[in-house]
Amino acid sequence: METPLDQLIKRLSRLPGLGPRSARRAALHLLKHKQEMMIPLAQEMADVAHSVKDCVECGNLDLTDKCHICLDHKRDETRLCVIEDVADLWAMERAGVFSGRYHVLGGTLSALEGRGPSDLGIDRLLSRIQTTKVEEVILATSATVDGQTTAHYIAERLAEHQVAITRLAHGLPVGGELNFLDEGTLAQAMRARSKL
């Protein structure tokens, strides 16, 4: 017979980064700290599930219909950074290197997983570009095959629009050691070398 505790552990183990063993450890930790962890965590989870929604404009997650980035008039609305996932948006915001707006695709094109242009809302991206003052679209998808395919597809679709299309630089990661780098990255870094 499956107890509620077994069910909880099973569901915890389905979170990314947790397996059966760490799910058991997490469940025990929660049970040992009911008042300061388990009960508030359950409450916060329920609250967030009911209050957080997708931004109607960019796909970011926030409490409002339009997210705080889309509502922020101090951000540069002429630059639009196209990313795969909300996690990428968070990473960009933590780095603090971009002051424009975002567009979250929610994935990449993928023949294998059967995701086409309509699943990514690329039409929504196009109409957004037509109706706002975007001058530059930065394609910041991952440097994977699917990510780059998606970038190329979007670049093609945008070709007829009056916007500059750019992509992130590829090369050595900061702190990266040459002998641990794959050949693809090395080749990119060599090709895009710049004067000192």
Binding site for a second copy (CB under 8 A): 3-5, 7-8, 11-12, 14-18, 22, 24-31, 34, 37-49, 51-52, 61-63, 85-87, 90
Cβ neighbours of residue 169 under 8 Å, at least 6 residues apart? 192
Residue 62 · residue 40 · CB < 8 Å = no
Helix (H) or strand (E) holding 164: strand 164-167
How far apart are CB 17 and a second copy at their closest, in Å? Answer: 4
Q: Which amino acid is at 194?
A: S
In whole angstroms, how close is the CB of 187 to a second copy at the nearest point? 29
Q: How far is the CB of 166 from a second copy (least distance, A)?
A: 26
Q: Pairing between strand 53-54 and 61-62?
A: antiparallel
- Residue 164 Cβ vs a second copy, minimum distance, rounded to whole Å: 30
- For a second copy, the closer of residues 9 and 80 by Cβ is 9
Which residues make Cβ contacts (< 8 Å) with residue 165, sequence separation at least 6?
Answer: 136, 137, 139, 155, 158
Closest CB 115 distance from a second copy, rounded Å: 14
Nearer to a second copy among residue 19 and residue 184 (C-beta): 19
Nearer to a second copy, 45 or 192 (CB): 45
Of 26 and 186, CB closest to a second copy: 26
What would the two tokens of residue 7 be? 């069910």
For a second copy, the closer CB: 87 or 164: 87
Q: Supply 11's token pair.
A: 């569901």
